Structure 1
Amino acid sequence: MTEDGSRPDPATEAFVTHRKLLFTVAYEMLGSAVDAEDVLQETWLRWVGVDLDAVRDRRAYLVRITTRQAIGRLRTLGRRKESYVGPWLPEPLLTAPDVAEDAELADSISMAMMLVLETLGPTERAVFVLREVFDLGYEEIAEAVGKSTAAVRQIAHRARGHVAARRPRGAVSPAEAQAALGAFQRAVETGDLQDLLDLLAPDVVALSDGGGIKQAMPRPTVGAERVARLLAAGVAVWGPVATLERARINGHPALIVRIDGEIDLVVAMRIEEGLITGIYSVRNPEKLTRVERETAVGR
């Protein structure tokens, strides 16, 4: 209902009904909430010009518009990332607790999985996301990406194999995730890294995204000893003055680190077989606007 009690027009009602889905499609395609919102604005502008009487399935039509806009935006982002300073990480989202209850959705928007999706081309990424996450039919996906149904089936098969070879191995229990997060939090708060060291995989990778605005690692740091030394140096500098908050970021437990009350970074982790295999720290302030309030995602 609108403020005066009347029903919204059909175009507005359909867009609002599916907005959470459309945002999630765009975000999983782009890894950026800011760009996802821009895509939704472009989707709306095209949607209001559509003859609804000629639309058989409004949800599918909206997803098609969003996907096409996201593919175009993704190609632009690819050129932008080529000049990005240091490692690029997805924009973290503060998500509602109920997102974790949808295991497939939570996995698809995790920082680890979003980085895997970054290794796909624009069309492959669209096909994978629409098929594997949102369970759209091949015919619907074909219309969205402008390919034949046969071609989409081949792309889906190829993308599925590509992702399977790179995605985290095995499901992580809430207890394992909380243990890793707790070890990191204790290390920062006490300066004792031993608990954290016990959880680091030998080939752990640490990435830090400062975007050229905040100090961050210029390249990935690989290996338990090197990552441990890096963490020790960071703890020595900001650990004594930092305030840590546990939060649900991209559907998974993570830490928000504040200094003087201001968010300084968000730390998410990739955990496999009980060990931390990835540590992702986002410091770029332009990417931290979505951790102050919850962002609605859904399928």
Structure 2
Amino acid sequence: GVSGGLFIVPLYAFIQSRSPKGECAQAIAANNIMNSLFMVVSALLSMLLLGVAGWTIPQLFLLLAVMNAVVALYVYSQVPEFTQRFISYLLSHVMYRVTVTGREKIPKEGAGIIVCNHVSYVDALIIMGASTRPIRFVMDKSISEIPLLKYLFRHAGVIPICSPKQSEETYNRAFEAIHEALANDELVCIFPEGRLTPDGELGDFRPGIDKILARDPVPVIPMALHGLWGSYFSHKGGHALAKMPKRFWSRVSVDLTDAVDGKLANKESLRVQVASLLGKF
């Protein structure tokens, strides 16, 4: 029942959120018909295997487990962001007590840019689990290649970036990828400081956000992360990931405010917005 719920509840929400306007009822009705069909088929299969073939109940459960694993892989291949956001939500809420304020500020459709302070190596994981939409993250190339996390980032469509001094090709390719994502009405998240905070304070915003908005003046949603400074994944007390964890399931909050017109925004005004969310102004 629990495992079935992990499929059914999110998929019903997914059907309702992705169905074209005016077709939601038809989509739910078609889904109900498919559910009824598969319930009849599963009952007949159980009767055949247990009564005729002489299978045991553990063997039947094993078959169902294998079939569900195949279905899970198929769902991931068709809708990868569904699984990614689910995993991100589970991981972030297992490690932290996450609360989100202003989630409704994230536009339900259309292009947009989220700008956020950069505190730890799991910032993207927290934001991904808090968002109602898939997000393309612009991330330092070195962070996007962290072992274990790099596979999640890769499938999430992370856009790696570095300074032009390190690799001008990677730098230019990142801005082209951002432009293509925004032109495709996707949601992009950047960390304008360009690096993890070394002291817990909000750093200066680099000119990359101005370059993006000059080409694509889309709405910008300021966001602030609280509670991650001092975690195992932050630079407090030494380099991140190089010290023993000192706390578990601590409180983390994600705060958002109203979107700003991209034609009027710049790195200084956006920094003031994020700083305000952090309580610096």
TM-score by length of 2: 0.28
Structure (1 or 2) with the larger CA radius of gyration: 2
| Structure with more helix by fraction | 1
TM-score by length of 1: 0.27
